[in-house]
Amino acid sequence: MPQCNTEALHRYLVSEIFPQIAPPPYGHIEIQRLIKEKPVYLFHERKRGIRVIGKFFESDHVPRQEAWRYAKQSYANLKHVREDFGMDNGRYRVVAPLGLKRELAALLVTELAPGKLLDHYIARACYDGQSDRLFEKLSCLAGFFTTLHRTSETQRHVSPALAQQYLDKVLKSLQHGPLRPSDRDTIKKHAARWWTASEIFTDHEVTVHGDATPTNFFFHHQEVVGIDLEKLKPADRCWDLGFFAAELKHHFMWRLGDRWAAEPFIGHFLWVYAVTLGDPQFFYTITRKLPLYMSLGLLRIARNTWLDEPYRSSLLQEARRCLKYGL
């Protein structure tokens, strides 16, 4: 756990967090790390059966002032989506923020989301043939994104500027491996055609989740609960849809070694999104832009150093294909 006073943490939980869920007295609190790569913990109070999630934003690489800014933004984003877009209950919602504490390594505490992660259903589809269950959950997730995007749509037209900025950023982060200079130049050449394709950027801006990965959505029966809204922002709706399609492609390709295995699931997700939005023809508007945002998502995944270098190179190839043949 990050450097913070354990006694101070205990006092904070029992005085400010647990009373929001159940009255005292409280018993022993167990602390369990949930994610190896991130300082995310489960705080479990046994006597009342209280379970909440804590994320510490401060670390050796992120100083307190910067971490506190991230923590406050994450808290504000959760409240914004819950209060302004009505996603605080019902089938589609985001977790409730319960508290913030700067002195405890910039700690954000939220409710524990019920159910299983989408990653669970992807694994079951890959290894146990449970494709129907994954199709069902993807339909639910399409409803989540439709709700978020519809309720937040603005009158501002989208532009490729944000995608262009992100491409420059992600290519810079990949330049130390496995991206070769020749690969970078080829990707930038293919991308240049997209920046001038004004006919495909006719949609309106919406608020996007900004980090649409299979580990950021929980499924409980027919409910979808979103977490980690740190990257919430106004953008093209295809930022969510394309990045998520890239995640599906990666998870199937990584597990099965088949670059086409995710295609039925991607198509199903996008079709249900368009139908739920009330305009099946919008499917074709989405799919015209999707290769651009898929390529950005694949490049982002390729930054993960825990993936082996040959596989990361294959992700770069897929991103290049999206840009070259997608327009």
CATH code of 145's domain: 3.90.1200.10
Q: Is residue 184 part of a domain?
A: yes
- pLDDT confidence of residue 176: 84
Token pair recorded at residue 33: 């790390």
- Are 105 and 174 members of one domain? no
- pLDDT confidence of residue 1: 67
Q: Is residue 33 part of a domain?
A: yes
Q: What distances in angstroms separate CA 150 from CA 15, 93, 263, 268, one per listed residue?
A: 39, 14, 25, 19
Which of 190, 189, 187, 200 shows the shortest CA–CA distance to 160?
Answer: 200
CATH number for the domain that contains residue 50: 3.30.200
Count: domains in the chain:
2
- pLDDT confidence of residue 5: 83
Which of 10, 33, 14 shows the shortest CA–CA distance to 24?
Answer: 14
- pLDDT confidence of residue 3: 67
- Are 65 and 103 members of one domain? yes
Longest dimension (CA), the chain: 64
- Are 198 and 133 members of one domain? yes
Q: Is residue 190 part of a domain?
A: yes
- Helices within the chain (DSSP H only): 6-12, 64-84, 118-128, 131-152, 161-174, 181-195, 238-256, 263-277, 282-302, 309-325
Q: Is residue 1 part of a domain?
A: no
- pLDDT confidence of residue 218: 98
Nearest 5°: CA angle at 73, between 295 and 169?
A: 30
Which amino acid type is present at position 47? K
Question: What does pTM read for this prediction?
Answer: 0.95
Q: What is the C-alpha to C-alpha distance for residues 217 and 210, in angstroms, rounded to an integer?
A: 13
Ranges in the chain, pLDDT < 50: none
- Are 52 and 163 members of one domain? no
Q: Is residue 130 part of a domain?
A: yes
Q: What is the C-alpha to C-alpha distance for residues 102 and 17, in angstroms, rounded to an integer?
A: 15
- pLDDT confidence of residue 133: 98
Domain that holds residue 106: 6-111
- Are 106 and 156 members of one domain? no
Q: What is the C-alpha to C-alpha distance for residues 9 and 56, in angstroms, rounded to an integer?
A: 12
Q: Say whether 218 sits in a helix, a strand or coil.
A: strand
- pLDDT confidence of residue 60: 82
- Are 191 and 320 members of one domain? yes
